[in-house]
Amino acid sequence: MVLAPRAVLVHRRTELDELIDRHGTRGQAEFFLRTRGRSLAEVQHRHDACVDALRQASRAIPVDWRRGSVDRADLDRFLFDPDDVVIVVGQDGLVANTAKYLAGQPVLGLNPEPDRNPGVLVKFDPEQSGRLLKAIVSGRAAIEKRTLVRADVDDGQQLVALNEIYLGHPSHQSARYRLIEPGSEPERQSSSGVIVGTGTGATGWCASIVRGRRNRLNLPSPDARTLAWFVREAWPSPATGTTHTEGLLAAEEHLTIDVESDGLVIFGDGLEGDRLAVNWGQEITLGVDSQTLRLVSR
């Protein structure tokens, strides 16, 4: 017997949910917002939009399908099945948060607040859910394959991200390491961290670095099997250099970091709480992941 597909709704708590948890009552939440020059009505409107989007997505799931639901906070404990259809309802960043836990499942991004969210990864209005789910299971949906970046530690730890991976000190103070760029001699460095980003991440953190440096490094496109890497605030000293501070990595290439500090961390897509810890003497390789994010595009 062949099981029907499982639709997994991925969501996150709204600002209103978090405010009431923090302050206890709607009245206290409203008072807090007023002291910040904001209104409860605005937060309530955004909450209602998210709830309505989840309701529409749930109604669109065929009655004979299996169902699952997971909050962003529980993604690291949720087991996705190979045949799942993943429906992300929320901001673009929620797709990035989810991508690292997937293994090729199609992802449908629904945008409950098009007036606030750019919709780069959550491309669709929730009202389109039914049509798109049918297209996915029939094989008619157009799929974008977006490149992922992966960090491998010599002790077997691994981390994958959709936008970028950061390696450095958790407080962003100086980290010491030896950087080995493909085709170049190793260089000892002291910096506020190394960032390796994908074409999807090229519109975020990597783009801000490029603008700040006013350089001409061409960032990759979202589907390119190429990564961009940057060293932040490399410090010149008799023992540390600043020659190798940015570049591109092709699909078969790796950036290698030999750690020469204790207490460094690796995290992806801004999720500092979900991180790897590395210490003096460990080696990290950063490169293109073999998996891609399969994002429904139409």
Residue-range domains of the chain with CATH:
6-141 (3.40.50), 148-290 (2.60.200.30)
Give the residue-averaged pLDDT of 232-256. 95
Could you read off the pLDDT of 200-223 as tens digits, one per residue? 988 888 888 888 787 778 899 988
**Closest by CA position to 244, among listed 198, 190, 184, 202:** 184
Token code pair at residue 295: 């994002």
Count of residues in the chain? 298
Could you read off the pLDDT of 235-246 as tens digits, one per residue? 999 999 999 999
CA distance 165 to 185: 23
> What percent of the chain is modeled with pLDDT above 70?
99
Q: Which residues, listed in sequence order, are joined to residue 277 by a DSSP beta bridge?
A: 265
pLDDT value at residue 88: 98
Does residue 218 or residue 189 have the better pLDDT? 189
pLDDT value at residue 125: 96
Quick check: 18 pLDDT over 70?
A: yes
Quick check: 286 pLDDT over 80?
A: yes
Q: Does residue 220 contact residue 227 with C-beta atoms inside 8 Å?
A: yes
**Closest by CA position to 233, among listed 192, 179, 183:** 192
Token code pair at residue 217: 């490094």
The count of other CB atoms within 10 Å of the CB of residue 167 is 23
CA distance 45 to 141: 32
**Closest by CA position to 95, among listed 74, 63, 72, 129:** 72
pLDDT value at residue 214: 73
- Mapped onto helix, strand or coil, the DSSP state of residue 186 is coil
β-pairing, 175-180 with 255-259? Answer: antiparallel
Could you read off the pLDDT of 26-52 as tens digits, one per residue? 999 999 999 999 999 999 999 999 999
Q: Does residue 196 contact residue 163 with C-beta atoms inside 8 Å?
A: no
Q: Please state, rounded to an integer, the average pLDDT across all residues of the chain.
A: 94
Token code pair at residue 222: 């979202």
**Closest by CA position to 5, among listed 119, 126, 99, 138:** 138
Could you read off the pLDDT of 78-128 as tens digits, one per residue? 999 999 999 999 999 999 999 999 999 999 999 999 999 889 999 999 999
Q: How much is the pTM? A: 0.89
Token code pair at residue 142: 């157009």
Rounded to 5 degrees, φ, ψ at 153 are: -100, 150
pLDDT value at residue 177: 97
Quick check: 273 pLDDT over 90?
A: no
Dihedral angle sign, alpha carbons of residues 90, 93, 98, 104: positive
pLDDT value at residue 270: 84
Dihedral angle sign, alpha carbons of residues 173, 178, 180, 184: positive
Quick check: 2 pLDDT over 70?
A: no
In the 8-state DSSP scheme, what is residue 220? Answer: P
